[in-house]
Amino acid sequence: MSKSKNISTICAVVAGIAAVGIILFINPINKGTGMNMSNTNNISKDAIINSSLPIPALLEDKNPDPKVDDFTLEPQQGEVSFIKGTETKTTGYNGNFLGPVIRVNKGDEVNIHVNNKLSEPTTVHWHGLELNGENDGGPDQAIQAGATWNPSFVINQQAATLWYHPHFSGTTATQVYSGLAGLFYVDDEISKNLNIPKEYGVNDIPLVIQDRSFNKDGSFKYDTNMMDGATGDTILVNGAIKPYLDVKRVKMRFRIVNGANASNFNLKLDNGSAFYQIASDGGFLESPISQKSILLAPGERAEIIIDFSKYDKGTKVSLMSDKTEILNFNVKEDGNDTTEIPGVLTKINKIEKSQATKVRNFDLQGMGNMVSINGQKFDMNRIDETVKQGDIEIWNITSENSMMHNMGHPFHIHGVQFQILSRDGKEPATEEKGWKDTVYIEPNEKVSIIVRFNNKGTFMYHCHILEHEEAGMMGQIKVE
């Protein structure tokens, strides 16, 4: 049990639902063989390579003009030794696994050159970026094997930790699972002027968290659990199994992405102490929030600051997902820390309900292969909703609950950042009052969001359990 990161189980635990027994009983049906429930980590302790935390490279901007950026991304095949004595076939951008961090400023004109070095089509979607549909990299924008795609857009949103990943119909889930994902940072005047940790790779560290299963020969084991999502018994952080990070006795910022296909991660420190959350998906919260744990569903991000000055040199602190250690911090010598935890981070302009011109309802239905939104499966040739550019709308998202369906779903909209109005009619928690592009909907819950559609084009909205998305829990909205 403890190693299982199965969505419905976690959601049950987190929500403290009394019907845990029922859910566990239903699970094996939901999950086909229920393999991941009983089959705990089959990697022996000494087969784990205790590496230091890999830090992805910052992608070089080849354009000398500070206001214009040129980046090259090359999805390609690779090989990684995750487990001693074995090699795993992987994919990555410009490397073996995952990709470099693309870092841009608000106001920049960004040109990206994607050269597809894979032997199959792919797309590159900029998750969380506000841009027009043609540059969004959705399933309708295939880059054939050997072909090139050159999206170009201007950054017009606040500082945030966004990410990029493939979105080709039928292969999104497997391409992400094999390693295609990377981070996309936006900076602005606020992020540059705040006196928070912000030195990349020094006191500002990305953490891409994903789970994988392995076959005996070291190859990735991709099991979709009958399309309810590929979960794994092993957690990777930046592509390493339980790595360590040496830290000075200073404040450290971590930008965390749940890059899993289907699993939620309930993150906390092994000693139970609190840290500060400073940002959600689309940028800074108004003020830092003291948190003892953070639940991230697939696609969601959070930025946190951990203050290591309160630990003695030699202390080991672990980042846990539920009861599993996923990253160990070794506290080292003192550092010269001039950063602070400011009282105020930013000002978030609330989108008022009264500004909304339309209410739409989306019911996430079914399980496994049978998933749909409002009874309809994704069809690339069908536009499900049409909106006028600049319009503000309220979307009510519900997750059907029945004996045959007890899963939560992370609901994501392309090309926008939205605000959460309510969960089951109640005000959202403070950490959910910032900008979001992905929101976790518990079984039988109704979440209302408010969103302004600033950019024209066709965009996807979908469940970010990648196997649900593949099975059709996705729709298209046209902004015109």
Identify what 465 binds: Cu ion, ligand C2O, none; CB under 5 to 8 Å per kind: Cu ion
Residue type, 257: V
Among 412, 423, 436, 468, binds ligand C2O (CB under 6 A): 412
Write down the least CB distance from residue 426 to Cu ion, Å. Answer: 23
By CB under 6 A, the residues from 129 to 168 that bind ligand C2O are 165, 167
H-helix or E-strand spanning residue 36: helix 35-38
Single out the segment in contact with ligand C2O by CB under 6 A; choices: 27-35, 300-308, 400-408, 459-467: 459-467
Query: What is residue 180's three-state secondary structure?
Result: coil
Residue nearer to ligand C2O on the CB measure, 303 or 469: 469
167's contact among ligand C2O, Cu ion, none, with CB below 5 to 8 A by partner kind, is ligand C2O
Single out the residue of 3, 125, 436, 468 in contact with ligand C2O (rule: CB under 6 A). Answer: 125
**Can residue 465 be called a binding residue for Cu ion (CB under 5 A)?**
yes
State yes or no: residue 414 binds Cu ion (CB under 5 A).
Answer: yes
Q: What's the DSSP call for residue 60?
A: P
| Smallest separation (angstroms) from Cu ion to the CB of 420 | 17
The rounded Cα 204 to chain-centroid distance in angstroms is: 18
H helices present in 109-237, as ranges: 172-177, 189-193
Residue 214 Cβ, how far from ligand C2O at the closest point, in Å? 24
CB of 306 to ligand C2O, least distance (A): 26
| Structure-token match 């550092």, residue found | 335
Q: Please tell me whether residue 118 binds Cu ion under the rule CB under 5 A.
A: no
**Cα 151 off chain centre by:** 22
| CB 167 to ligand C2O: min, Å | 5
Nearer to Cu ion, 277 or 399 (CB): 399
Under the binding rule (CB under 6 A), the answer on residue 421 touching ligand C2O is no
Give the CB-nearest residue to ligand C2O.
Answer: 127
Handedness of CA 260, 265, 270, 275 (dihedral sign): positive
Q: Which of ligand C2O, Cu ion, none has residue 463 at its interface (CB below 5 to 8 Å by kind)?
A: Cu ion
Task: State yes or no: residue 299 binds ligand C2O (CB under 6 A).
Answer: yes
Q: What is the largest CA-CA distance in the chain?
A: 61
Contact between 127 and ligand C2O by CB under 6 A: the answer reads: yes
Contact by Cβ (8 Å): 316, 331 = yes
Which residue number, 243 or 366, has a Cβ lying nearer to Cu ion? 366
CB 362 within 8 A of CB 376: no
**Among residues 438, 104, 158, which one has the least CA distance to residue 278?**
158
Distances (CA, A) of 468 to 69, 225, 379: 35, 11, 14
Sheet holding 409-413, edge to edge: 385-387, 474-479, 457-463, 409-413, 438-441
Only one of the segments 25-33, 263-271, 283-291, 456-464 lies at the binding site for ligand C2O (rule: CB under 6 A); that segment is 456-464
Nearer to Cu ion, 92 or 298 (CB): 298
Whole-angstrom Cα distance, residue 357 to residue 395? 11
Of 125 and 405, CB closest to ligand C2O: 125
Residue 409, binding choice from ligand C2O, Cu ion, none, Cβ under 5 to 8 Å by partner class: Cu ion
Question: Hunting for tokens 């990648």 — which residue is that?
Answer: 466
Task: Indicate the DSSP class of residue 123.
Answer: -
Q: Does the footprint of ligand C2O cover residue 436 (CB under 6 A)? A: no
The residue type found at 307 is D
Give the residue, chosen from 5, 31, 106, 127, that forms a contact with Cu ion under the rule CB under 5 A.
127
* Residue 256 DSSP SS3: strand
Closest Cα partner for 255 from 286, 227, 296?
296
- Nearer to Cu ion by Cβ, of 208 and 463: the residue is 463
**3-class SS of residue 450:** strand
Return residues touching ligand C2O (CB under 6 A).
125, 127, 165, 167, 299, 412, 414, 460, 462, 464
